[in-house]
Structure 1
Amino acid sequence: MPWDNHFLNSLDPKDMARLEPGLSEVGMERNQLLDEAGRPVSFVYLPRDCILSVLTVMEDGGLVESRTIGREGGYGLLHAIGSPISYERTICQVGGRAWRATLPALREAADASAALREAIVRHAQASLLQAAQSTACNSLHRAEQRLCRWLLLTQDRLGGDILPLTQEHLAIMLGVQRTTVTAVASQLQARGLIAYSRGRIRVLDRPALEHCACECYAAIQRGVAMMLSDRLRH
């Protein structure tokens, strides 16, 4: 069956047979809280058409997004074979569907398969690469470039032109005020790259978005492809 998730699709039939009995499909709603910093992680989530947002929470309540997770990977993979404690807040940014498994179920399957453990580590590394690149991007590049990068990554994960992103989420993603989001989105709309309305963005000119984005979008794409490439297994 089509799993609509890169991690699950990458597994060989024996590993999938070990994991499949513990998988269930769940609906995910926008802003649904999955885990909180300092608490044990209970489930692994493998998005099909939803997007998860991993947030660092500051003492004053401020939020900064470190990475997003879509159908290219999953949340909780590394927790299943390491520490189960979450050090970030994880919410559903774009609602949809996901596969869910308990940490013990994935850990048991991973204990029986070196190939499955390798797949877990590879996909976790790909997610951390995105976080590292995003940290550099937020420090060095303009808000307009960063917004274009996030729009491109979001479109890649959803596979359509309509991106259900609110001003609140965009501000957290970029680490800026909502007024900055409004100003930057309005500029992109005036140039014909996007159509922007409350809670929704339509991508009108993807090549122009790619041209406007900073180097980080391409760097993330190259890095993830390299980490998940079968050619690097031997």
Structure 2
Amino acid sequence: MAWSNHFLDSLGGADIARLQGDLREIELRRSQVLDETGRPVGFVYLPIDCILSVLTVMRDGAQVESRTIGHESGYGLLQALGSPMSYERTLVQVGGRCWRLPLEALGQAAAESPTLREVIVRHAQASLLQAAQSTACNTLHRAEQRLCRWLLLSEDRLRSDVLPLTQEHLAIMLGVQRTTVTATASSLQARGLIAYSRGRIRILDRPALERCACECYRAIEHGAAAMLGEG
């Protein structure tokens, strides 16, 4: 069976057998909050065709995205091996289908299987790499470069050139005001890279978008592939 999620598809038959009885396919809606800072994580979410956004939230309510998760991985994997507490807010960036697994079930299965633990750790490392690269990117690179990087990663995860994205979420991702999002997206549209309308972006010229993006896009993709044994 093809699970349409890299984490599940990379598991051997014995490990899938340990998890299969607890896996449930569910539908997630856009902006649905899955976990909040300081609360125990109850489930692992393994996207099929949705995208999850992991946010760091400040005391004044300001928030910035540290990483996104699509069909290449999952949310809650590392918590299954240690503390179940969430230290971030996780919400649904793009709605769609997802496999859900009780955190306790994954933890118990991992305790019985060294091979499962290894796959969990590799995916967690790839996720941490993305968070570290995103931190550097948000500090060192221009808003336009960061937007291009983020659009490319989102297209890879959705496997579609049409991205249902709101101005509000783009502002959170970039850590800027909505006016900056409008100006940046309008500039890309004027140069023929994207078509931008309310709640929807179509990528028109991916090669040009890749040239416009900073080095972080390739660093995230190549680093994750190496950690997951694909590079």
TM-score tier, shorter chain, comes to: over 0.9
Structure-2 change in CA distance of 1:80 and 1:223 (3 Å):
same
Q: Deviations over 1:164-194 (max 9, x none)?
A: 1100000101111100000000000000000
Question: Which residue of structure 1 aligns with residue 153 of structure 2?
Answer: 153
Query: Does residue 1:99 correspond to 2:99, yes or no?
Result: yes
Written as runs of structure 1 = structure 2, the 5 A alignment for 1:143-222 is 143-222=143-222
30-39 or 221-230: which moved more?
A: 221-230
Question: Which residue of structure 2 aligns with residue 138 of structure 1?
Answer: 138
Structure-2 change in CA distance of 1:65 and 1:230 (3 Å):
closer
SS state of the match for residue 45, structure 2?
A: strand
Query: Does residue 1:228 correspond to 2:219, yes or no?
Result: no
Structure 1: segments with no counterpart, 5+ residues: none
Structure-2 change in CA distance of 1:230 and 1:138 (3 Å):
closer
- CA distance in structure 2 between the aligned counterparts of 1:126 and 1:20, rounded to whole angstroms: 24
Structure-2 change in CA distance of 1:216 and 1:108 (3 Å):
same
Q: Which amino acid aligns with 1:41?
A: V
Tell me how many residue pairs correspond in the alignment.
Answer: 231
Deviation of the 1:230 alpha carbon: 6.2
SS state of the match for residue 22, structure 1?
A: coil
SS state of the match for residue 116, structure 2?
A: helix
SS state of the match for residue 126, structure 2?
A: helix
Deviation of the 1:84 alpha carbon: 0.2
Question: Which residue of structure 1 aligns with residue 29 of structure 2?
Answer: 29
Q: Which amino acid aligns with 2:78?
A: L
- CA distance in structure 2 between the aligned counterparts of 1:168 and 1:129, rounded to whole angstroms: 25
Written as runs of structure 1 = structure 2, the 5 A alignment for 1:48-63 is 48-63=48-63
Question: Which residue of structure 2 aligns with residue 10 of structure 1?
Answer: 10
Q: Deviations over 1:37-63 (max 9, x none)?
A: 000000000000000000011011001
- CA distance in structure 2 between the aligned counterparts of 1:107 and 1:141, rounded to whole angstroms: 38
- CA distance in structure 1 between the aligned counterparts of 2:158 and 2:186, rounded to whole angstroms: 23
SS state of the match for residue 27, structure 2?
A: strand
TM-score, with normalisation over the residues of structure 2?
0.99
Deviation of the 1:161 alpha carbon: 0.8
Deviation of the 1:112 alpha carbon: 1.0
Query: Does residue 1:41 correspond to 2:38, yes or no?
Result: no
Deviation of the 1:2 alpha carbon: 1.6
Structure 2: segments with no counterpart, 5+ residues: none
Question: Which residue of structure 1 aligns with residue 89 of structure 2?
Answer: 89
- CA distance in structure 1 between the aligned counterparts of 2:21 and 2:228, rounded to whole angstroms: 25
- CA distance in structure 1 between the aligned counterparts of 2:16 and 2:219, rounded to whole angstroms: 30
- CA distance in structure 1 between the aligned counterparts of 2:5 and 2:81, rounded to whole angstroms: 20
- CA distance in structure 1 between the aligned counterparts of 2:230 and 2:51, rounded to whole angstroms: 25
- CA distance in structure 1 between the aligned counterparts of 2:51 and 2:230, rounded to whole angstroms: 25
- CA distance in structure 1 between the aligned counterparts of 2:161 and 2:33, rounded to whole angstroms: 26
Structure-2 change in CA distance of 1:114 and 1:162 (3 Å):
same
- CA distance in structure 2 between the aligned counterparts of 1:66 and 1:160, rounded to whole angstroms: 23
- CA distance in structure 1 between the aligned counterparts of 2:69 and 2:178, rounded to whole angstroms: 23
